[in-house]
Structure 1
Amino acid sequence: MPPRDRSGDRSGDRPGQEAGNGAGDGDAPDDWQHDLTEQRLSELRKIRRLMLCSFLLAAFTATYFARDVLLPIVLAVLLTLTLRPVVRGLQRIGIPPGVSAVLLMLAIGLGFAVAGYFLSGPIGEMAARAPQIGTEVQRKLAGLMDRLASIREVGEQVTEMADAAGATGEKMEVVVDQSGPIPSAVGSAASIGSTLVAAMILTLFLLASGDFYHRRIVEASPKLHDKKRALTIVRDVERQISRYLGAITVINAGLGVAIGIALWIIGLPMPHVWGTLAFLLNFMPFIGAIIGTVAAGAFALVSFDSVPYALLVPLSYFTLTTIEGNFVTPMLVGRRLELNIVSVFVTVAFWIWLWGVPGAVLAVPFLVVVKAVCDHVPSLKAFGGFLSGDPAVKAEDREGDPKDRTGKPAARHA
């Protein structure tokens, strides 16, 4: 038998070995490229987070310093979102958007004018009596509590200053501030009035434009499903903010009537003024009820000789606002618009710090708009579920099962 040629075997084995070695050597560049790609992606994520934080910081700074400019714009946008369904309903019966906008703004302006006319006298009188009311309240409460520590400290400081001046023979000059609360109140009223006028004029133009801005938002979206989603978000925001502000306005009006009747039964002077103030103050969550309770209690201590009887006024005010906040509002506003109390408190505190009293009024409507947007954006649904006050709604939003409770596939909305 002829000897086998082993060179062929060896040559046949080498390609496989070389191929195997080549494959093994080829994995190293791929792994290196993969690690480099992951490193670059990680760096890009860090840069994106840094840019987002910088943008938010710049936005908050601009919002804080541009309050006088942004406040009427934000108020006009909220009024437009609230009244847009009304304008659209009037358009269905043949009334043009421009005519509807003019009629609505005239009605709102007339309401503010009538309310200001009837309330300016009593509120001005109460503001003029503010120092007297403060003095009377201190006198009435002197038998129930010790003097305030701050007043005692101020008195001691004044005494020390007088003793020092007498020892040196120098005359001590006393400056009395004659400004009082009236000029400050007039300045605040003028500022509020100018803001409301600017907001109403801008609202008139926005309502008269019809669906012009809706079409621009849809046209700005590149894809068809993005257009549908944008239109759905805008319509849902309009529906929810209109429903919320409408319900809150009715609830606050009922609360104002109830407080006015309760204080009239107790015998407090000007109960209609306190009812109107309760209606306005209740647009500010948390702090509105506190301000109204303290102010009504102070006025009651001046109006009644008996301190225990005067305390019925703040007790009635606080009881009615508590019933409204814990039972009436959750029942009438509904599950879909119910918000988490923690998120409401944090939002109100933030906007009070940012814009003061107007921020407290606009905080909850702003939160409703944010929640409506989050409900339609998949990446923000978890945050929208956190803002919701209904655990059932949050659980349904977080479920990723595309089937409904009947077992059938749920319809997917673009």
Structure 2
Amino acid sequence: MRHLSQTLQLLLLFLVSITLLYVARPVLVPLAFGGLLAMLLMPVASWLERRGLSRGISTALSILLFALLVAGLVLLLRWQIADLVKDLAKLQDQLMKLFEQIKQYVRDQFGITSREQQRMLKEQQSGGMEKAAGVAMGTITTTLGLLVDTLLVMVYVFCILFFRSHFKNFVLRVVSLENRTTAEKVMHKVSKVAQQYLTGLGLMIMMLWVMYGIGFSIVGIKGAIFFAILCGTLEIVPFAGNITGTAITVLIAFAQGGSMDMVIGVLITYAIVQFTQSYVLEPLVVGEQVNLNPLFTILIIVVGEAIWGIPGMVLSIPLLGMFKVICDHVEPLKPYGYLIGNQTVKEDKSFFKRLFGKDED
């Protein structure tokens, strides 16, 4: 009965936590992004402080450097988009031809005439002005919300970096005296896991830019650099991101009048890059920093998307990795840390052993 009571309490705690996370999404999502970025920028701010700058100036400079990096990436994308816009008329013509081919395929395979297809499209587009106005207002609202959230994240980053000693001392005051050493170790390791994961992810994304860029250039995609950056950057969204980027690239290959060979080339590039990412880049660059069981990695991404949408997919893996660190150092939670952890033997790290080796039962 005691074990059953503990299980029910744990289940109730889980359900209450999920509910709170869902209800408090507008507050917690920007705060979570702010916390992760603060951990990423903490080494930079600390380095600037050791050079004699005040905490406020070092914090502001760290955020400014990050903003300049993002601005540089946006400018690069804008330059590539401007290059693609020159061929916009050709792309439109190719898209219209592709659309006609789809209509022809539907007519041949399903017996739906072009007139019937046109009528169905018009029915779907009825009330078009109202829908267009709704889409426009939705776009404006989403953009303004994104700008507000971005500003809020930057404010959180500044506050967390500036008052980090204050927050650390608060945690040490909360825990008992005999557990303060463990608490310091957990805080340090949680911060380290977030830093190493995000830094490794950033390096891996840049390597993906290079590989996609080379592959798309060989295939002959116009604006190969843009699509390489798009596919690599979308890796931030696990699983769905790179598939979305590749699907867009395939569509543009059709729109550019590319042959089936070009499309196959894009898909081969995607397959090679994904294989290299999974078995070379992730073990070597990202490493075992989060050390999560693949089952729980997939599960937390699904749960994150259900609760917080796309931001939940982005945040899920580092947050679960940080939670595992806490579980590994808190005695009652150690079984759960073992459960969500990866059982891969540390000595078994070679490429071929990771690919073909056997795990213990």
Range of TM-score over shorter length: 0.7 to 0.9
In 2 relative to 1, CA 109–360 (structure 1 residues): closer, same or farther, beyond 3 Å? same
Q: CA deviation at 1:153?
A: 11
Q: Secondary structure at the match of 2:345?
A: helix
Partner of 1:16: none
Is 1:253 the counterpart of 2:206 in the alignment? Answer: yes
Is 1:331 the counterpart of 2:284 in the alignment? Answer: yes
Query: Which amino acid letter does the alignment assign opposite residue 58 of structure 2?
Result: S
Partner of 1:206: 160
Question: Equivalent pairs: percent with the same residue?
Answer: 22
Q: CA deviation at 1:68?
A: 1.9
- For residues 115 and 236 of structure 2, the distance between their equivalents in structure 1, rounded to whole angstroms, comes to 39
In 2 relative to 1, CA 57–148 (structure 1 residues): closer, same or farther, beyond 3 Å? farther
- For residues 203 and 389 of structure 1, the distance between their equivalents in structure 2, rounded to whole angstroms, comes to 31
Is 1:219 the counterpart of 2:173 in the alignment? Answer: yes
Contact 2:291–2:321 under 8 Å retained in 1:
no
Partner of 1:319: 272
- For residues 337 and 296 of structure 2, the distance between their equivalents in structure 1, rounded to whole angstroms, comes to 11
Partner of 2:54: 96
Query: Which amino acid letter does the alignment assign opposite residue 21 of structure 2?
Result: T
The 5-angstrom pairing of residues 27-106 of structure 1 reads 42=1, 49-106=7-64
Partner of 1:193: 147
Q: Secondary structure at the match of 1:215?
A: helix
Query: Which amino acid letter does the alignment assign opposite residue 205 of structure 1?
Result: C
Query: Which amino acid letter does the alignment assign opposite residue 23 of structure 2?
Result: F
Q: Deviations over 1:178-209 (max 9, x none)?
A: 62977765554443332222111110111012
Partner of 1:288: 241
Q: CA deviation at 1:83?
A: 2.2
Worse overlay, 182-191 or 382-391: 182-191
**Which segments of 5 or more consecutive residues in structure 1 lack a partner in the other structure?**
1-41, 163-172, 394-414
Query: Which amino acid letter does the alignment assign opposite residue 330 of structure 1?
Result: P
Is 1:235 the counterpart of 2:194 in the alignment? Answer: no
Determine which of 267, 275, 281 is the counterpart of 2:220.
Answer: 267
Determine which of 381, 384, 399 is the counterpart of 2:334.
Answer: 381
Query: Which amino acid letter does the alignment assign opposite residue 157 of structure 2?
Result: T
Query: Which amino acid letter does the alignment assign opposite residue 175 of structure 1?
Result: G
- The structure with the greater share of residues assigned to helix is 2
Contact 2:186–2:329 under 8 Å retained in 1:
yes
Question: May I ask how many residue pairs the two structures share in their alignment?
Answer: 339
Contact 1:140–1:307 under 8 Å retained in 2:
no
Q: CA deviation at 1:345?
A: 0.6
- Structure with more relative contact order (C-alpha pairs < 8 Å, separation 6 or more): 2
Partner of 1:346: 299
In 2 relative to 1, CA 137–214 (structure 1 residues): closer, same or farther, beyond 3 Å? farther
Contact 2:220–2:262 under 8 Å retained in 1:
no
Contact 2:196–2:289 under 8 Å retained in 1:
no
**Which segments of 5 or more consecutive residues in structure 2 lack a partner in the other structure?**
347-361
Partner of 1:411: none
Q: CA deviation at 1:314?
A: 3.1
User: Over alpha carbons, which structure has the higher Rg?
Assistant: 1
The 5-angstrom pairing of residues 128-147 of structure 1 reads 136-139=97-100
Is 1:368 the counterpart of 2:326 in the alignment? Answer: no
Query: Which amino acid letter does the alignment assign opposite residue 202 of structure 1?
Result: Y
Query: Which amino acid letter does the alignment assign opposite residue 68 of structure 2?
Result: L
Taking only aligned residues, the RMSD between alpha carbons, in angstroms, comes to 3.7
Q: Deviations over 1:275-298 (max 9, x none)?
A: 221232001111112111111111
- For residues 154 and 363 of structure 1, the distance between their equivalents in structure 2, rounded to whole angstroms, comes to 46
Partner of 1:359: 312
In 2 relative to 1, CA 76–148 (structure 1 residues): closer, same or farther, beyond 3 Å? farther
Q: CA deviation at 1:343?
A: 1.1
Contact 2:213–2:228 under 8 Å retained in 1:
yes
- For residues 286 and 192 of structure 2, the distance between their equivalents in structure 1, rounded to whole angstroms, comes to 13
Query: Which amino acid letter does the alignment assign opposite residue 223 of structure 1?
Result: L
Query: Which amino acid letter does the alignment assign opposite residue 364 of structure 1?
Result: I
Q: Deviations over 1:384-405 (max 9, x none)?
A: 2232334336xxxxxxxxxxxx
Taking structure 1 as the reference length, the TM-score comes to 0.70
Q: CA deviation at 1:242?
A: 0.5
In 2 relative to 1, CA 360–174 (structure 1 residues): closer, same or farther, beyond 3 Å? closer
Q: Deviations over 1:203-255 (max 9, x none)?
A: 0111012411111100111232x111111100010111101110111111110
Q: CA deviation at 1:347?
A: 0.6
